[in-house]
Structure 1
């Protein structure tokens, strides 16, 4: 792996059309049972092949094994009833029908560990696996049992820690927790959100990351972003807390966003996974556009701590668009890597 500017993707890649309906977020599986397991593993291997072929250094499964980045994990837990649904406001932005917590939440068995072992067997590059963060899990359910967002978050944190420890044992090098809720519920982030996230990472020896984005390019998110003004300063709330936390890598959205890059200064000392690829716009970034984002980020983070990445997942894109964006990401990183290397010689 490159010692400087190793590339990675945040989350999803498009699924093959034989596995799920293409260009649709959270589309239903076309397979079930043993066929679904075989199909998702095949799709995982394809995702690995495409990432390696395009020069991605830290490889993921492209979320080929998940229909949804939160609920696919929750489906494997006891205490949650998917038939008993309620409408709740997600991320304080849009209403959604969600399952209910009806009893003590527990993890009867590992959720993604066999999939992660398949990923580990598919490449000798460092691998990253994503899990939902505790606060975002809480925000994607109706709680009819604990009646406390904080208490439920702590229960989820313990469950996530069990899963993360087994993922580490399966050979995962980086475990990423997705916490878009950190951009919304600032008081909770301060009161218990970061602490619950740290509980999820307790005892791990691999690198840990937290991904805080502004969401997929769906209408509800785009409409919310339109209300945020000329500067998106939400990270100002969570970054100082994360800088003091045990989390190793902070993943943030940048390209085509209104996030002031100087906010990265608030996590000085941490590794930064910077989004240099827009996931709300199908136009392909040029390598020079990617390089420009990285150069600007380097004013606020040392080169040996910068990981060029995507803003979020790319599941809704046509496959050729997503893969072309990967190629631009690695080409742009190569431009800046050469510049930094030449400067240091």
Structure 2
């Protein structure tokens, strides 16, 4: 049986029948929201429509996202994060022990995103990602993956000064339990794979070039991953990229090579690694080849969501063939560099361009599979 997330390359037998050769290919997560959903979100924020009406529009956006992904041949789909306010802060919905003046994330073009700051304990997830997964499963006929925020990102909610009656270690205990429940709920609900979004990994080296913050992040994420069996961890993956928001990044200027050896120490079954936007992919692939754990698969990014130009299938094919010079084909997969709209208000990429890029990824991966596997 082919891998559930495989792009199929077909060769014709003398009888005219098709035989598949496969390399796994999967989306990362977010898809730009349709105009109807953006309008409904603004109306809900202004109090002009209620929760039920917003939920109806969100569900229609999920249905359309899944339908379009399936129509272009995506063997694995996501909900497109249509109902998430952002990939990072969805667990905080409904919580009231937060202030808006948390950690600031600066992007290369000058705009910023700011996390909230925890003002009192305990930390509890207000929303679990299982909710989004179940919405997608209602519409999908192929496997569904679910992205969740890595606990390392949420660890930034805790302020530098200790909170009265809620020491940092108690916060980390609660965060670990919440992250485990977030992942386990998706596994139990039938996710094809659960993907930890660890986009703050490369940023950690920008904030702390000594590497200490990155080591703390890796230790915290492994603290959660170690709560799962080896069989369960085979269905848990990690995604890393330099951030992608409003056609800009927050840490593309940080040397990727400094990150990857530590990233590969995470106890996950697969890694989704941004590569299409890297200036020296061979250098990155060499480090991946040296450090990829023996049990893991690596999905390389072959489309760049913040580049307005749509890749051709042939460009994607060539990127896969380059990766295959460094990595065993049976350990190789493809993905997009990152999500297309990780924050709900990001309209820098159109919905149609996102699907065109995804189609190119699927078709280009199939072309590469044909060459690599015959």
Q: What range describes the TM-score normalised by the shorter chain of this pair?
A: 0.7 to 0.9
Alignment of 1:252-267 (within 5 A): 252-258=273-279, 259=281, 260-265=284-289, 266-267=291-292
Q: TM-score, normalised by structure 2?
A: 0.78
Q: Give the one of 139, 158, 164 matched to 1:122.
A: 139
Change (3 A) 1:219 1:172: closer
**Is contact 2:260-2:288 (8 Å) kept?**
no
**Is contact 1:107-1:159 (8 Å) kept?**
yes
Q: Please state whether the residue corresponding to 2:118 is helix, strand or coil.
A: strand
Change (3 A) 1:28 1:66: farther
Q: Does 307-316 or 260-269 show the bigger shift?
A: 260-269
**Is contact 1:41-1:115 (8 Å) kept?**
no
- 1:285 lines up with 2:285 in the alignment: no
Partner of 2:356: 324
Alignment of 1:1-345 (within 5 A): 1=4, 2=6, 4-20=22-38, 32-76=50-94, 78=95, 81-82=97-98, 84-90=99-105, 94=112, 96=114, 98-107=116-125, 111-139=128-156, 142=159, 145=163, 146=166, 148=168, 152-185=171-204, 186-190=211-215, 192-201=216-225, 202-203=227-228, 205=232, 207-218=235-246, 221=249, 224-225=251-252, 227-228=253-254, 232-242=256-266, 245=267, 247-258=268-279, 259=281, 260-265=284-289, 266-269=291-294, 270-315=296-341, 316=347, 317-342=349-374
Task: Work out which of the two has the higher radius of gyration on C-alpha atoms and give 1 or 2.
Answer: 2
| Structure 2: gaps (5+ residues) | 7-20, 205-210, 342-346
**Whole-Å Cα distance in 2 between the matches of residues 95 and 323 of structure 1?**
26
Q: CA RMSD in A?
A: 2.8
Q: Please state whether the residue corresponding to 2:97 is helix, strand or coil.
A: strand
Q: Please state whether the residue corresponding to 1:105 is helix, strand or coil.
A: coil
What's the CA shift string for 1:300-345, capped at 9, x where partnerless?
3222222211001112411111111011001101101111221xxx
**Is contact 1:113-1:166 (8 Å) kept?**
yes
Change (3 A) 1:38 1:275: same
**Whole-Å Cα distance in 2 between the matches of residues 182 and 68 of structure 1?**
18
**Whole-Å Cα distance in 1 between the matches of residues 120 and 248 of structure 2?**
28
**Whole-Å Cα distance in 1 between the matches of residues 158 and 86 of structure 2?**
13
**Whole-Å Cα distance in 2 between the matches of residues 12 and 70 of structure 1?**
12
Q: How many residues align?
A: 326
**Whole-Å Cα distance in 2 between the matches of residues 33 and 166 of structure 1?**
24
Q: Please state whether the residue corresponding to 1:90 is helix, strand or coil.
A: strand
Q: Please state whether the residue corresponding to 1:195 is helix, strand or coil.
A: helix
**Whole-Å Cα distance in 2 between the matches of residues 307 and 172 of structure 1?**
18
Q: Does 263-272 or 91-100 show the bigger shift?
A: 91-100
Q: CA deviation at 1:151?
A: 5.7
**Is contact 1:268-1:301 (8 Å) kept?**
no
**Is contact 1:239-1:267 (8 Å) kept?**
no
Q: Does 164-173 or 255-264 show the bigger shift?
A: 255-264
**Is contact 1:134-1:154 (8 Å) kept?**
no
**Is contact 1:275-1:311 (8 Å) kept?**
yes
Q: CA deviation at 1:59?
A: 1.1
Q: CA deviation at 1:294?
A: 1.0
**Whole-Å Cα distance in 1 between the matches of residues 106 and 238 of structure 2?**
17
